[in-house]
Structure 1
């Protein structure tokens, strides 16, 4: 089982929840007694969403302003290096050891003066982004929110849509109407938009490899966090803008907003949640299957039955086209990704090719680990050596050959993706893409094509600043090959971009494009006859 990414950097609610791939092991290779023990071990292991480091607690202004000496900062930096070297099984997947050593030396040279926690967080962020691991967690140990950490009383008040070096206003979170919606924002407190992008985009570490769409989407959705953390805060913000259709640059002062304002907006969005898996029919032979996330447990929904019923219904209706909407789906339990693919193929398939884990020995930093389940030592004993000098955990059904469903869907499949199509979602997409079973529409996935580092996390507290780094333990390699972009996500066959006006009007441009594509294909087929 793989628990993957905790949305502490998802960014969508007040509470951090486990939402990345959850990977379950295969138990039938064990005798019944050991199998039962392993189940208990893994069940305990994979309930990481409840460990204390992932709950929000109150952080006082005093905590944030406490100054740490250069010696304390250097100690925390060296400790980070030690923890990553020991515990991250994919540390050098995208960035070489030499490059990491250079980065650690470079950051060390900047720690030559007293700093508060936020300043050290900013200084060390390049090390986190260099991992290019979207599942890594880097956050204050104590926090009021899963995403917004600093300057919580003076957060940036506008939601913008970035397109390259331009940004347009989508929503004013402060509730003022001084700046018309869809206006081009020229600068913020004197900082031009191109300069702002240059400063903030490299700080986004919620992405695998060099996946790009997820970074832009993160700026769109969480600019108040990035601005407050990496640029600063002020009681109000001077905005230079051009109104729609005008080249005249005007200025306006917009008051800052508080964390409470953002939390109220999040609550409003949560009220309108629909079923996590649902199907609708767009016409007599086109089905739209929407899957919000794969983080679904048995007590919430019988996913196997729901999927079986949905695909039975589609086949009964003689559905010819299936649109699978995975936009915003950040992952969950990995077997659901394999299950979904088994419903759209009539051939046996491999899902994961292999999985690597850290060393079998105990970590040297055990006293700084925030929480681990009591059964964790048993899991460690089940780690075994690979043919090389690496280690793996073999008890996983999804490492075996997978079988198709008895009556799989055989029509045309279209998959809608965006930057937040991550983790298990990207894994499903990689398999479907590799086997040429679907047409992809939208934007590049945030998860890597060839795999990711996820699974359960080991959360560790730095000794002085008490920042928390939570490290995923399982390095997955998908059973795919031949894709030329080794450091990217699944690139769509048909890229679709949104304008600020599209977002303001809540247009579903991806779905419109897909329906037109289906109609065009249908017309071509009719003409050929």
Structure 2
């Protein structure tokens, strides 16, 4: 092989590898092209674009993005711009995803990651790992000269939530903190950390060497809080998805960890319906006065599990949605759609999908296409004959989202419900959900996903429930520091004490 040919192959190979690195160069021309297409996708396909933001606010952030491109030079710069735009809209079903080749490179990185998981406790970010380097539970004050009060908001863009909700972002940060930090601040050799322990006001300094991507996640798997919170992070078996326990002659606990139990045609769904009927028949027969409904790790699932459950907890006729609409009658910008079919063949097969949307959303008003009255989401449902009429104590957390938050919102709207815990990630009054669309930006190959159904939930207006926020508890209770160290459930303890005090 000649030297010239060898040099050429090496140059081509280097360009391929370099092009797969998120820190590599990416031209402003390509950024501008993809930004224009990204905005067009949102305007034509995303019904949630103006759900929580005015047209002026959306125009303003796109002006920011255009100006930001002028000072950007890398692929990561552009990815962060798209993440910021995605998050600004305010939908927990929005997602910005790196192409597989870039994500694979991240997973192979052998340095650059903060070594330890952290957790939000009593308004502070603390070390959630036992190590000799830095004491468990130490409060992080500063990393590489930047106060943690600035670091954390810079990472919000990577974990979307409904409306202006912030609590839900802490769910993402407690698991993905190190990865998010790397995406925002770059690949760093070491971290200069200022911290203090709980029993001292003296600020201490330590230099922590960075670890690999995989070693950070190994440390996360070994986090101190795992015995307390491991159900948040595992694939639940059927017998872990829901449970019921009678505490005493007046109180029971119904725990619903997910609504991912299939639809009406699945055996798992039918088993769940049988479970509900059995326990609520028993609750009624035993004349229980109090029911704790724990949905703290319920991030959603499939219809109609949420509304069937609610039928056992309400005395009113109800609907899953007051209304729902999308912003098109035919799938727009088909050539960028995230499917494996070649773009020139897509128009040939899209007809049946367009007819599906036209049948499902037949009512056009002001360029919006509203769901038909005969769809299951609009069905007026009756309370179950064994519905619980006593006092409901609903336990919520920032993990609650999608179908989980829709269900929790309806329960929270009951007059006989007391909500305890933390604000949910999912909105009280509505969300964008049901049908997910994905598009691929042509130059960067960044994938953007969002749900197209703009949903107004069937919930009453309440003075403590704010538009653009999650379900706000009547009693805001988070795990406290002592219970973190002892791996105890602060919220359940508070609830049981509340019930005892009200007897």
**Is the 8 Å Cα contact of residues 280 and 388 (structure 2) preserved in structure 1?**
yes
* Counterpart for residue 248 of structure 1: 202
* Counterpart for residue 9 of structure 2: none
- Whole-Å Cα distance in 2 between the matches of residues 121 and 212 of structure 1? 21
Evaluate the alpha carbon distance shift between residue 198 and residue 381 of structure 1 in structure 2; reply closer, same or farther with a 3 A threshold: closer
**Is the 8 Å Cα contact of residues 293 and 394 (structure 2) preserved in structure 1?**
yes
Residue 171 (structure 1) shift: 1.9
The yes-or-no answer on 1:392 pairing with 2:347 is no
Residue 317 (structure 1) shift: 3.3
* Counterpart for residue 371 of structure 1: 339
* Counterpart for residue 171 of structure 1: 129
- Whole-Å Cα distance in 2 between the matches of residues 338 and 372 of structure 1? 35
* Counterpart for residue 166 of structure 2: 212
The yes-or-no answer on 1:518 pairing with 2:494 is no
**Is the 8 Å Cα contact of residues 149 and 225 (structure 1) preserved in structure 2?**
no
* Counterpart for residue 156 of structure 1: 114
TM-score (norm 2): 0.84
- Whole-Å Cα distance in 1 between the matches of residues 276 and 155 of structure 2? 40
Asked which structure has the greater CA Rg, the reply is 2
Residue 471 (structure 1) shift: 2.0
Q: CA RMSD in A?
A: 2.7
The residue correspondences of 1:403-422 to structure 2 (distance < 5 A) are 403-422=382-401
- Whole-Å Cα distance in 2 between the matches of residues 292 and 492 of structure 1? 19
Candidates 238, 256, 269, aligned match of 1:291? 256
The yes-or-no answer on 1:464 pairing with 2:443 is yes
Residue 276 (structure 1) shift: 0.5
Aligned partner of residue 350 in structure 1, secondary structure? coil
**1:212-244 CA deviation, whole Å, 9 max, x = no partner?**
321233333331132111122323322222223
**1:80-138 CA deviation, whole Å, 9 max, x = no partner?**
10000011012101101121112111111121256332211112332112201111111
The yes-or-no answer on 1:355 pairing with 2:324 is yes
The yes-or-no answer on 1:182 pairing with 2:137 is yes
The residue correspondences of 1:190-205 to structure 2 (distance < 5 A) are 190-201=145-156, 203-205=157-159
The yes-or-no answer on 1:438 pairing with 2:417 is yes
Aligned partner of residue 230 in structure 1, secondary structure? helix
Aligned partner of residue 158 in structure 1, secondary structure? coil
4+ aligned runs moved over 3 Å, structure 1: 59-62, 143-146, 148-153, 162-166, 261-274, 372-375, 386-389
Residue 187 (structure 1) shift: 1.4
Residue 308 (structure 1) shift: 1.3
* Counterpart for residue 80 of structure 2: 122
Candidates 80, 89, 99, aligned match of 2:57? 99
- Whole-Å Cα distance in 2 between the matches of residues 514 and 134 of structure 1? 28
Aligned partner of residue 239 in structure 1, secondary structure? strand
Evaluate the alpha carbon distance shift between residue 107 and residue 150 of structure 1 in structure 2; reply closer, same or farther with a 3 A threshold: farther
Residue 160 (structure 1) shift: 2.1
The yes-or-no answer on 1:314 pairing with 2:283 is yes
The residue correspondences of 1:3-22 to structure 2 (distance < 5 A) are none
The residue correspondences of 1:270-289 to structure 2 (distance < 5 A) are 270=234, 275-289=240-254
The yes-or-no answer on 1:334 pairing with 2:303 is yes
Candidates 116, 136, 139, aligned match of 2:97? 139
**Is the 8 Å Cα contact of residues 122 and 480 (structure 2) preserved in structure 1?**
no
Residue 161 (structure 1) shift: 2.8
Aligned partner of residue 327 in structure 1, secondary structure? coil
- Whole-Å Cα distance in 2 between the matches of residues 136 and 149 of structure 1? 23
Evaluate the alpha carbon distance shift between residue 446 and residue 271 of structure 1 in structure 2; reply closer, same or farther with a 3 A threshold: closer
TM-score (norm 1): 0.80
The yes-or-no answer on 1:257 pairing with 2:182 is no
Aligned partner of residue 478 in structure 2, secondary structure? coil
Evaluate the alpha carbon distance shift between residue 215 and residue 77 of structure 1 in structure 2; reply closer, same or farther with a 3 A threshold: same
**Is the 8 Å Cα contact of residues 141 and 194 (structure 2) preserved in structure 1?**
yes
* Counterpart for residue 492 of structure 1: 473
Query: Which structure would you say has the larger RCO, counting Cα contacts within 8 Å and 6 or more residues apart?
Result: 1
Evaluate the alpha carbon distance shift between residue 478 and residue 149 of structure 1 in structure 2; reply closer, same or farther with a 3 A threshold: farther
Residue 163 (structure 1) shift: 5.7
- Whole-Å Cα distance in 1 between the matches of residues 358 and 484 of structure 2? 51
* Counterpart for residue 486 of structure 2: 505
